[in-house]
C-alpha cells in the first residue's frame, strides 16, 4: 500500500491518489451541459469506495458548475458521515476576467458550497487574470492568515510562473503547496519543460490531472472504439489523437498488470505517483463507483524498478 504523503512543505497528509469531481457539475455551467449526469446514489458510492480504499483527497473547483461540484462533494461526504478532519479538500478560484481581490469576496461562497468542510488547499485555477502573480499570492496569503483556507496552490502554471508564485509566498513564509497540471503517460511534457524539475527543487507537489487521459489508459477505448462517441468532447480529441500511438503502451500496462493482478489503468496511476519519488500525486476522475474502487486499488501494489523503466521507455514518444 502506498503511504500518505505531505502536500508540498505543509503538514497536510494526502493519499497519493485522490479523486477529482469535475464531472459532478450536475448539468450547470458551460461544461455542465455536456458532462454526464451522475446520480446522488452513484456519487455517494464513489465517495464510499474512495474512502474505504484509503483515499482522503478530493479535488473540485468553482469553475465546475459554479459551485455545483463543490456542493455535490460536500453532500456525498456528509452522506457517508465523513468528518472534516478525515478529509483533504482542494478547490480553485476562477481568475479569468477577475482581480485577486475577488478571492476575499467569494471565499465565503466557496465555504458555503462546501457546507463548511475546510478548504485544505485553495488554488488559482490558471494563470490568466487581471492581477499579477504577486497580487494573487498576497491575496492567497491573506486567506491563510485569516484561516479561511489551510494551504495554497496554483494550477496550469509553467515553471517560470511557478517559481514566481513560490518566491512571493516565501516572502510571507507560506509554502506553495502544489501546482496542478495535465500529466499522464500520454502527456509527459512536464518532464522536459522544467515544471517537474522546478517542483522538485522548490518542494512543491505536482498534482497530475487527467491522469488516465479521460479513460484512454484503462484500455477501454482501444477495446471498444465505439465508446468514444459517448465521451466528453475534450477527451474525444485527446483520445482520438493518441489512440494508435498509445496501443503499445496500453499493451505493456496490461501485461505488467497481469503480474500484479491489476488493470492497465491502475498500473498507469501507480507509475505516475511513484516514478518521481513523492513529487507527484494524482486525482483521476470518477463517474462510476467501480472507477473509484479501481483508482484506490492502484495504491495497493508496488511496481518493480524494471517495470517502471519499461513503462517509461514505451511511453517515451509522449515526452
Ligand X SMILES: NC(=O)c1ccc[n+]([C@@H]2O[C@H](COP(=O)([O-])OP(=O)(O)OC[C@H]3O[C@@H](n4cnc5c(N)ncnc54)[C@H](OP(=O)(O)O)[C@@H]3O)[C@@H](O)[C@H]2O)c1
Pick one of 151, 205, 210, 315: the residue that binds ligand X (CB under 6 A).
Answer: 210
Pairing of strands 280-282, 5-6: unpaired
> Is residue 10 at the binding interface for ligand X, with CB under 6 A as the rule?
no
Find the binding residues for ligand X in span 149-208 (CB under 6 A): 155-156, 180
Instruction: Verify whether residue 64 is a known catalytic residue.
Output: yes
We find the least distance from the C-beta atom of residue 82 to ligand X, in angstroms, to be: 18
State the nearest-atom distance from the C-beta of 276 to ligand X, in Å: 18
Given candidates 220, 236, 240, 260, which one binds ligand X under the rule CB under 6 A?
220
Instruction: State the binding string over 43-82 for ligand X (x if CB under 6 A, else -).
Output: ----------------x-----------------------
Q: Which of 23, 89, 176, 268 binds ligand X (CB under 6 A)?
A: 23
Residue 21 near ligand X by CB under 6 A = yes
Query: CB 45: neighbour CB atoms within 10 A?
Result: 20
Q: Pick the catalytic residue: 64, 113, 183, 235?
A: 64
Query: Is 22 an interacting residue with respect to ligand X (CB under 6 A)?
Result: yes
Residue 191 to residues 69, 159, 185, 194, 255, Cα–Cα distance (Å): 30, 11, 11, 7, 25
Q: Residues near 52 by Cβ (< 8 Å), separated by ≥ 6?
A: 296
Residue 211 lies near ligand X (rule: CB under 6 A): yes
CB of 287 to ligand X, least distance (A): 4
What's the gap between Cα 84 and its chain centre? Answer: 19
Q: How far is the CB of 85 from ligand X (least distance, A)?
A: 22
Q: Binding to ligand X by residue 212, rule CB under 6 A?
A: yes
Distance of alpha carbon 314 from the chain centroid: 24
Q: Are 115 and 139 in contact (CB under 8 A)?
A: no
Shortest CB 269 distance to ligand X, Å: 9
Binding mask 236-275 for ligand X (x = CB under 6 A): -----------------------------x----------
Cβ(110)–Cβ(62) below 8 Å = yes
How many chain residues touch ligand X (CB under 6 A)? 29
Which three cell numbers, joined as nine digits, stand for 195? 515544471
In the chain, what's the furthest Cα-to-Cα distance?
53
Which lies closer to ligand X via its Cβ, residue 137 or residue 306?
137
Among 67, 153, 175, 214, binds ligand X (CB under 6 A): 214
- Nearest-angstrom CA–CA distance, 155 and 206: 9
The position carrying cell 501494489 is 301
Question: In terms of CB distance, is 198 or 291 closer to ligand X?
Answer: 291
Instruction: In angstroms, give the least distance from the CB of 173 to ligand X.
Output: 26
Catalytic residue ranges: 64
State the residues that interact with ligand X by CB under 6 A: 20-23, 36, 59, 155-156, 180, 209-215, 218, 220, 231, 265, 283-288, 291, 294-295
Amino acid at each position: 500500500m502506498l503511504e500518505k504523503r505531505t502536500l508540498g512543505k505543509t503538514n497536510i497528509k494526502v493519499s497519493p491518489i485522490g479523486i477529482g469531481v469535475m464531472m459532478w457539475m450536475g448539468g450547470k455551467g458551460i461544461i455542465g451541459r455536456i458532462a454526464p449526469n451522475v446520480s446522488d446514489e452513484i456519487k455517494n458510492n464513489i465517495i464510499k469506495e474512495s474512502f474505504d480504499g484509503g483515499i482522503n483527497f478530493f479535488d473540485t473547483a468553482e469553475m465546475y458548475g459554479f459551485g455545483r461540484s463543490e456542493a455535490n462533494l460536500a453532500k456525498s461526504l456528509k452522506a457517508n458521515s465523513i468528518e472534516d478532519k478525515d478529509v483533504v479538500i482542494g478547490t480553485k478560484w476562477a481568475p479569468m476576467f477577475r482581480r485577486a481581490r475577488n478571492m476575499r469576496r467569494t471565499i465565503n461562497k466557496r465555504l458555503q458550497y462546501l457546507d463548511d468542510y475546510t478548504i485544505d488547499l485553495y488554488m488559482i485555477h490558471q494563470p490568466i487574470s487581471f492581477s499579477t502573480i504577486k497580487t494573487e499570492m498576497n491575496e492567497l496569503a491573506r486567506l491563510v492568515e485569516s484561516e479561511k483556507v489551510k494551504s495554497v496552490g496554483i494550477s496550469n502554471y509553467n515553471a517560470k510562473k511557478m517559481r514566481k508564485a513560490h518566491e512571493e509566498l516565501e516572502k510571507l513564509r507560506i509554502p506553495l503547496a502544489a501546482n496542478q497540471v495535465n500529466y499522464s503517460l500520454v502527456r509527459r511534457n512536464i518532464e522536459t519543460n522544467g515544471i517537474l524539475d522546478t517542483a522538485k527543487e522548490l518542494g512543491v507537489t505536482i498534482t497530475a490531472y487527467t491522469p488516465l487521459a479521460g479513460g484512454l489508459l484503462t484500455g477501454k477505448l482501444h477495446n471498444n472504439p465505439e465508446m468514444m462517441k459517448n465521451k466528453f468532447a475534450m477527451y474525444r480529441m485527446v483520445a482520438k489523437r493518441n489512440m494508435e500511438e498509445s496501443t503499445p503502451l496500453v499493451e505493456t500496462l496490461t501485461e505488467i498488470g497481469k503480474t500484479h493482478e491489476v488493470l492497465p489503468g491502475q498500473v498507469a496511476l501507480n507509475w505516475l505517483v511513484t516514478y518521481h519519488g513523492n513529487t507527484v500525486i494524482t486525482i483521476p476522475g470518477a463517474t462510476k463507483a467501480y472507477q473509484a474502487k479501481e483508482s484506490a486499488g492502484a495504491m495497493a501494489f508496488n511496481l518493480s524498478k524494471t517495470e517502471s523503466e519499461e513503462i517509461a521507455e514505451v511511453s517515451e514518444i509522449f515526452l
